[in-house]
Amino acid sequence: MARWVCFDAILLLLAAWVLAADSPRPIPKDTLPAKLPLDDIPLGLGPRSVPKDNPLTEARVKLGRKLFFDPILSADATIACASCHQPDHGFAGGAEKPVGIRGQKIARRAPTLLNRAYGASFFWDGRAGSLEEQALRPIEDPTEMGSSVADVVKRLKADKDYKAQFEAAFDDGITADNLAKALAGFERVLLRGDSRVDRFRRKGEHDALTPQERHGLWLYESKARCWRCHSGSNFTDEGFHNTGVSWGNDPADLGRFAVTKKASDKGKFKTPTLRGLSLTAPYMHDGSLKTLDDVVEFYNRGGGANPNLDTVIGALELSEEEKRNLVAFLKAL
């Protein structure tokens, strides 16, 4: 009898664990400052691109902010934008694979939204050409929010608070285009700069970086070859490269190829910004590298061998000290 009771208890525990794994996760709270600056550009960043038909206004940014944290955008009111793009993780996913509606695992990790105002294309495969276009895609993705834009617009029109906020932000009130514009406006003010690296480079503050970090910067710009892809003030060329990450996995993820259908784009993924890097682990589009040490080691050995490996990728032959110093510099970003 005792054995059967014990077995039943184990089954109950297993059932509870499965239910917990599939149950909605708490939506992160909005812990951002009460008022977000619209015009201030942090040290180290250049002018950002703002569409003429979607200027940054307090009303639009405030509305987009509310929408970002609201599960009203998902079919069953369990998932918000913040569920995958978590503020405490640099507006990136804190897990290898994000969890969407009904506990579904999303194929790629959520990239950071920091400094996306400087983006040329969006998503790991570049399928969207603007933040406005990007903002609506997750709503209709069956594994993410599992809804439709039309249904979301209906729900928003039935909400008195949203009706008032949309009318304050847009002349024509609640529309699909305005939903996209509000979300994109909020994302455009998520800027990160003024790091110790910026103070070293832009203001000449020599002691802003330690000797170890300064050596890491030298490696970044020379022997380690990081600058070839992570260039410019936002530390990304906004391009697509095959580094061998996830190559050969089953099922295959061919990245940019799914958009262009060009054989040369197989295995290429968008170069992410390195701003706020310490916050955005795990790394790569599949979250397969858990730490910055893992990332540096991956590139030190020459990435992942495959027929489409980018020509800029090759063994670096960094010493253990050089690897530590490079990681120290990356953390200073």
CA distances from 138 to 143, 146, 256 (A): 8, 8, 18
Question: What residues contact residue 319 under an 8 Å CB cut-off, 6+ apart?
Answer: none
Residue 95: its pLDDT value, please? 80
- Which of 45-54, 95-104, 274-283 comes out lowest in average pLDDT? 95-104
Residue 96: its pLDDT value, please? 76
Residue 251: its pLDDT value, please? 87
What is the arithmetic mean of pLDDT over 105-110?
93
What is the arithmetic mean of pLDDT over 147-161?
98
pLDDT digits (tens, 9 = 90+) for 212-249: 999 999 999 999 999 999 999 999 999 999 999 999 99
Q: Give yes or no for a contact between 189 and 56, defined as CB atoms under 8 angstroms apart.
A: yes
* Whether pLDDT at 10 is above 50: no
pLDDT digits (tens, 9 = 90+) for 11-35: 444 433 433 444 557 899 999 999 9
CA–CA gap between residue 199 and residue 68 (Å, rounded) = 32
Catalytic residues: 144
Could you give the percent of the chain with pLDDT greater than 70?
93
Residue 145: its pLDDT value, please? 97
What is the arithmetic mean of pLDDT over 291-316?
97
The model carries a pTM of 0.91
- Which of 6-15, 111-120, 158-167, 204-213 comes out lowest in average pLDDT? 6-15
* Whether pLDDT at 101 is above 90: yes
Strand partners, 122: 128
CA–CA gap between residue 192 and residue 154 (Å, rounded) = 35
CA–CA gap between residue 272 and residue 239 (Å, rounded) = 9
pLDDT band of residue 168 (cuts 50, 70, 90) is very high
* Single-letter code of the amino acid located at 173: G
CA–CA gap between residue 213 and residue 328 (Å, rounded) = 5
